[in-house]
Amino acid sequence: MKIFLDTANLDELKKAVAWGIVDGVTTNPSLIAKEGIAIEEQVARICDIIDGDISAEVVSTEAKEMIIEGHKLAKIHKNIVVKLPLTRDGIEACSEFAKEGVRTNVTLCFSPAQALLAAKAGAYIVSPFVGRLDDIAQLGMELIESICTIYGNYGYTTQVLAASLRSPLHVAQAAEIGADIGTMPFKTLDMMFNHPLTDKGLEIFLKDYAKAFADKK
């Protein structure tokens, strides 16, 4: 499973990229707004840091405007994936982009039926949200599983991006189910390193080594 970082923060991205495990980035209007820099400029900076798919989301709500805005975003860098909401207008824009060969990420997916529409429209990526479904007492991972099954049944090439992953458990479950991509905030990615037995084991190894060679310095 590919690991994407869900952020528009350059410091977070640089730190994660140094680990050599990040394959791409997803952004959204909220993340861009948090950084206080125009999307074109911030996304271009992100593209300079990592060579992978970078999702940049439109803020228009009507198909014609989405297409115009999406073309502008796609021109920023070859790695840009135009992010569209899973609305009627978003699907219309997705269909048009698919004809043109412009890659899209259809986001805010909360049902298997919606995911089917995204695949039919030729989306490059679909983004079902796990954590937000968990928040309303629905099992978000069941959505990932259903979408993977449907796409497998019919050979759809749209990649399933498990979004709103809020814990290492979410990440592991998405990978086990077969999601193509998991996107997560830096905090979640950082937590994946943690295990008390790893820390304890390293402490013992270093203590034993230091004790054995203490008199040979």
The domain that contains 99 carries what CATH number? 3.20.20.70
Helices (H), the chain: 10-18, 29-35, 39-49, 63-74, 88-100, 112-120, 130-135, 140-154, 168-177, 186-191, 196-212
* C-beta separation of 193 from 137 below 8 A: no
For 138, the domain range is 2-187
Nearest to 186 by CA among 37, 39, 26, 1: 26
Q: Is residue 106 part of a domain?
A: yes
Q: How many domains does the chain have?
A: 1
pLDDT for the residue 54 = 98
Active-site residue 78, yes or no? no
Q: Is residue 41 part of a domain?
A: yes
Q: Is residue 59 part of a domain?
A: yes
Choose the catalytic residue: 64, 75, 83, 217: 83
Distance of CA 16 to the CA centre of its chain: 14
Report the sign of the C-alpha dihedral through residues 123, 34, 181, 73, in that order. positive
Q: Is residue 192 part of a domain?
A: no
98-102: average pLDDT? 98
Q: Is residue 215 part of a domain?
A: no
Q: Is residue 206 part of a domain?
A: no
Cα atoms in the Cβ-side hemisphere of radius 13 Å centred on 135: 8
Note the pLDDT tens digit of each residue in 112-144. 999 999 999 999 999 999 999 999 999 999 999
Q: Is residue 211 part of a domain?
A: no
Q: Is residue 156 part of a domain?
A: yes
